[in-house]
Chain A
């Protein structure tokens, strides 16, 4: 099922991406060619088939409740685009 421009806008919003008007048309075309292709899976009879979410059969991988030293703040902030007083700084979020 091809995606309409509206569908694309919705998905863009969810992924925090956007497309210029001229870009949009071509992008949507290429996107839909892929969407058409992956819909091939509708042909497969998956009745009674369990999904495989993990390639491995292992379960219960845990660690003990032990504290280990954290990283130094300067390493945490080293790549920050903007910071203040040891914190990351962003425009205020109204939630």
Chain B
């Protein structure tokens, strides 16, 4: 029997407004515990919420970017439940009139096909405090985060594979970054993702009960957990059993999901309209004002990169997935007219090294203009491509300037005709069989001879010239 995996995602993104959603406390990350609080975000008796308009602006911005319908009439509701990190024992959220509904995010898969992942809704709400686990049997509560504005994004169960989930999250994250509405840093908790998953027999005969997975700290974890759960559900069904409707925690050490609690009895949140906050009327003018200020979004930027710079779609996707990287790329293109080379260089040399050393764009030791200088040296045949890579490695490590490095590392390429002529002649004399091979069409022999010349020149000869010269001599 064959099975299909069905996944829906629930994402919470902390909005990077300066102040919280209902009070003027700062939203800055990492403050000393309980120093960013006031009676409102602590829910002290007598306190009242006042809505931060920017939170709506940002939510509408996100809604427009994801092609949602923006509600013309909306409101806040109370979601009632007891938990130590929830200061009023109710969360001010949105229930039946969310700000945005019916959107979509289009992903481009590795095989070039596209797929739309539908969004059910985007709504605004307040974040809770944080529970720090102390020693023994206690929890310590820090309410700095209590009251930070959030958007909650709920997808249709349109995702079918771990890869699709990650592509979706990449596009979501990049878009939110471009919109500058969130820092979207999963490590800092400004982006959180829960997975809802089950499997269905392709002939529709049986299906498993939905599991909710929480505590996913990276896109990789999302990917792995979907894989794991799909497998777990499938095996259960195959064995004639079924999964339970439950909430599970992803254990990143053991690479498996662990049962947390049953979802048999749905929690009764007793939603009702928030009496302390009056309703919202979102005018067409308000929406239009935001729409006009939307920046170029990742999808559009990608299409433009492919068209304008003639780089492969895959490269363009990697570049636009990171707003800063895309900007970096474009800045380089403005100073050096070979986008293909730049893109290639970023993809192969730079990103690889950055991932290995865990260095971000902001932390690069060399400046943009130095990279341009290096590119120019290569383009002008002053150094070989290989030499360029060596120089780059050094620039990356130490931040030293390219020209100085070329000198100190003795990598200046020699493109002097006579010099090369001499070496080529020498090598040809030493390798008469190779000449024969070349005449017989064995191109590999060319490479071999080029290698020999390079050796004699200690890597300094311009390899393109060498190759050309050898060909000229032999053919």
Contacts and interface: CB of A to CB of B under 8 A. Distances in A.
The answer to whether A and B touch directly, with their CB atoms under 8 angstroms apart, is: yes
A51 to B, nearest CB: 8
A6 B273 CA distance: 28
A41 interface: no
Given A66-B24, A85-B33, A92 B83 contact: no
A59 B37 contact: no
A62 B51 contact: yes
A44 B138 CA distance: 51
A66 B140 contact: no
Interface string B33-70: 11111110010000000111110100000000000000
B33 to A, nearest CB: 4
Contact of A53 (B39, B50, B273): B273
Nearest to A86: B33
Contacts of A64: 52-54
A46 interface: no
A35 interface: no
B363 interface: no
Interface residues of A, number: 33
A70 B36 contact: yes
A54 B275 CA distance: 6
A54 B24 contact: no
Given A60-B278, A95-B260, A89 B138 contact: yes
Contacts of A53: 75, 273, 275
Contact of A76 (B56, B143, B279, B280): B143
B471 interface: no
Given A89-B140, A93-B83, A14 B270 contact: yes
B139 A91 contact: yes
Interface in B250-278: 260-261, 268, 270, 273, 275, 277-278
Contacts of A66: 18-19, 24
B279 A90 contact: no
A65 B280 contact: no
Per DSSP, chain A at the interface is loop
B280 A63 contact: no
A88 B141 contact: yes
Interface string A32-64: 000000000000000000000110101111111
Residue of A70, A73, A89 with most partner-chain B CB within 10 A: A70
Contacts of B138: 84, 89-92
A68 interface: yes
A71 B38 contact: yes
Contacts of B91: none
Contact of B278 (A14, A59, A68, A71): A59
Interface stretch (B129-137, B183-191, B220-228, B403-411): B129-137
Contact of A65 (B54, B75, B275): B54
Nearest to B33: A86
Contacts of B18: 65-67
A93 B140 contact: no
Nearest to B81: A14
A72 B25 CA distance: 12
A54 B137 CA distance: 44
Interface string B299-339: 00000000000000000000000000000000000000000
A94 to B, nearest CB: 9
B350 to A, nearest CB: 36
A88 B50 contact: no
A87 to B, nearest CB: 4
A30 interface: no
CB-based closest 4 A-B pairs: A87-B140, A68-B24, A65-B54, A62-B53
Given A87-B132, A87-B142, 11 more contacts: A58-B278, A63-B53, A65-B54, A70-B36, A71-B38, A76-B42, A87-B140, A88-B84, A89-B139, A93-B83, A93-B139
